Amino acid sequence: ERLKAAGVPAEELSRITNASSDRLTPLIEPIILYFHRLALQRVIRENMVMHLAEEAGLAEAPEAPAQMWVAIAFVDLSSFTALTAAMGDVAAAEVLNRFSGMVRESANRWEGRVVKQIGDAFMLVFPEPRLAVACALEIEQRTASESQFSAVRSGIHWGPVLYREGDYVGSNVNVAARLAGAAKRHEVLVTGAVSEGVKDGLPEGAETVSLGKKRLKGLPEEVELFEVRTPESASEKVQDPVCGMELEPAEVAATLTLENKELSFCADECLRRFVVAPERYST
């Protein structure tokens, strides 16, 4: 498409396409086999560990085939929709690419796996609650230190799930997803099962704080929530009310005082949008 837009003639475009295809086609089968073998090795390893744990009495036998205990984490950007509306698809895609790289790097570092990505939301699984919490805290720390970036929120639950065709399903997956949806900017919310599982495994200075029982959307019963807090949890950045970007003082491009409150904006365009329709944006 870029070559077409640049005005490359049709014959030349066809020649370039065919030449690229001739070079890439022989690589397709080896690449597929390589990743298939990697996935197979991981499944075999996880299955072996699961059965050894059951035989040693370290884990309960599953109630159904392909049932396993995992920590499920959901992480997403708290204002990605607003950012896309204000900045456009290209700028939003750049932010998402940065976020995706950080999520995947942190997941690999903490023995996790990205199960799927839907827009700006990632579903991750980990063999232990402490690994999931450590990963979520690392993602929070990394994104919070990024220049002009959206705040992240996370939800983590621990329990049995069913493995089906490369995905994980069950009520415990739903709990983790609802936790992430209920989390505010910079929050890492976990259930009691996770809080209990990380008592002796939290990073130095981190703690779990009970938020009491809450009703989560779509769940029949209230869930006791805990927030994982660290000394760095409090953010000193300001938030652009239009796009949701978090800004250091030096990154503020424009300000506006409204009802004795100073609002900060990442660009003149966000200020313009706010002035035109301030009722659209929460301040």
Read off the pLDDT of residues 143-170 as tens digits, 9 standing for 90 and up.
998 888 999 999 999 999 988 777 889 9
pTM: predicted TM-score of the whole model, two decimal places: 0.78
CA distance 275 to 254: 12
Instruction: Single out the residue in 187, 207, 229 at which a domain terminates.
Output: 229
- Residues 98, 183, single domain; the answer is yes
Residues 6+ apart with CB under 8 A from 270: 86, 240, 242, 243, 254
* Overall number of domains in the chain: 3
Residue 141, CA distances (Å) to 151, 203, 235 in order:
10, 13, 10
Among 32-36, 47-51, 127-131, 248-252, name the one with the lowest average pLDDT: 47-51
| Dihedral sign from CA coordinates of 155, 158, 159, 160 | positive
Could you say which of 229, 249, 272 is where a domain stops?
Answer: 229
Looking at the fold, whether 7 and 126 belong to one and the same domain comes out as: no
Is residue 114 located within the same domain as residue 205?
yes
- Dump pLDDT digits (tens) for 88-145: 999 999 999 999 999 999 999 999 999 999 999 999 999 999 999 999 999 999 999 8
Read off the tokens for 198. 């990380």
Q: Given this model, what pLDDT does residue 175 score?
A: 94
Residues 241-265 have pLDDT tens digits of 999 999 998 999 999 998 889 999 9
Q: 255 lies in a domain?
A: yes
Residue among 184, 190, 188, 108 nearest 140 (CA):
188
pLDDT score for 104: 96
Domain membership of residue 34 as a residue range: 2-55
CA of 168: how far to CAs of 102, 123, 128, 219, 279, in Å? 22, 10, 16, 18, 41
